[in-house]
Amino acid sequence: MSEQQTIKVLKICILIGICLLLLGHYLISYTNITQSMGIAGMILSAACVALGLIFSLPTKMYLTFLLVTRENRRNHPSDKQEK
């Protein structure tokens, strides 16, 4: 997989993670799911938040690492070309 494709997939994972986080927050804060479904509603809301964190946080760190590495390669060509 090329670097561009990897970056695109990571950005999609971040978007999915943020959407799951927002869904979990919405379920907990603005709906009566915890009162109507009881403990199952709490578990569902917590699972959305947990999956959102799993999708978003590690991919952000890896994407940042990829982008910094790519920027360093652009700004500092290899030593062979400079000599």
Give the confidence band of 82 by pLDDT, cuts at 50, 70, 90: low
Residue pLDDT, tens place only, 29-52? 999 888 899 899 999 999 999 999
- Taking the C-alpha atoms of residue 6 and residue 64, their distance in angstroms, rounded to an integer, is 12
- Taking the C-alpha atoms of residue 10 and residue 12, their distance in angstroms, rounded to an integer, is 5
Average pLDDT, the chain: 85
Give the confidence band of 62 by pLDDT, cuts at 50, 70, 90: confident
Q: DSSP string spanning 25-71?
A: HHHHHTS-HHHHHTHHHHHHHHHHHHHHHHHHHHHHHHHHHHHHHHH
Mean pLDDT of the 60-80 span: 79
Token pair for residue 48? 């959305």
